[in-house]
Amino acid sequence: MSNQDIQLTVDAVVFGYESVPRISVLLIKRKYEPFKDSWAIPGGFVLNEESLEDAVYRELKEETGVEIGYLEQLYTFGKPGRDPRQRIVSVAYFGLVRPDTYKISAATDAQEVQWFDIHDLPELAFDHAEILETAIKRLRAKITYEPIGFELLEERFLFSDLENLYKTLLGREIDRRNFRKKIMSLGMLNELDEKVSKGAGRPANLFQFDKKRYFQLKEEGIVFEI
């Protein structure tokens, strides 16, 4: 097939979390046609000699300045006509950043890059609304069977933060005490000695996800599940 004329791009749906609480996604305003001045998921063409993941990291750095802590391939979108000008197939990824990175990147270039609440999104270029929807569904599903929620929190976090993250993402109430029991029973969290007091109420303990222990347990067939 020497006359194949298909361009390959990557796009990255990057999620962040604030303890407001809200889940947000990183979007850029397009500088060029097509869809000039529309909001879009960051991404771009894959270079001839770089891997798909490298393309994602590079584009994210170039376009948004963000460095992500977690990245996985989401889905490949290739329907003819998804770009009005040429045949473009895009390998979409989804990534997660911690609040600290989040803040930095939010300040970088307010004109072109911006975090949006996933429940209050602008109109998006191309089929990016579909890509984003796919990503949200995946994130929502995945936090129930993979410990990726921790990638959205600080290294050391409060149980109430974790709980709010799950409540917000799953969109339903969770019994605080049962949730805690369930998570703790997995044996993947370390309770730190440090206590934090914010606002009224008894000070809360800090926790940390034990990635090493998680992989040990995974080896033994014990999986994360909520």
Residues that bind DNA (CB under 7 A): 158-160, 175-178, 180-182, 195, 197, 199-205, 225
Q: Which of 50, 112, 191, 225 is catalytic?
A: 112
Is the CB of residue 207 less than 8 Å from the CB of residue 161?
Answer: no
End-to-end Cα spacing for the chain: 48
| Residue 177 interacts with, from DNA, its own copies, none (CB under 5-8 Å by kind) | DNA
Residues 158-197 that bind its own copies (CB under 8 A): none
Nearer to DNA by C-beta: 35 or 179? 179
Is the CB of residue 122 less than 8 Å from the CB of residue 116?
Answer: yes
Residues 24-53 that bind its own copies (CB under 8 A): 44-52
Helix (H) or strand (E) holding 55: helix 52-64
Q: Cα(198)–Cα(13) distance, rounded to whole angstroms?
A: 32
Among 25, 60, 91, 96, binds its own copies (CB under 8 A): 91
**Torsion sign (Cα): 33, 36, 39, 42:** positive
Contact between 84 and its own copies by CB under 8 A: the answer reads no
| Residue 202 interacts with, from its own copies, DNA, none (CB under 5-8 Å by kind) | DNA
Beta bridge partners of 216: none
Q: Is 112 a catalytic residue?
A: yes
Three-state DSSP class for 44?
A: strand
Binding residues for its own copies, rule: CB under 8 A, are 1, 3-8, 44-52, 73, 75-76, 78-80, 87, 89, 91
- Residues noted as catalytic: 112
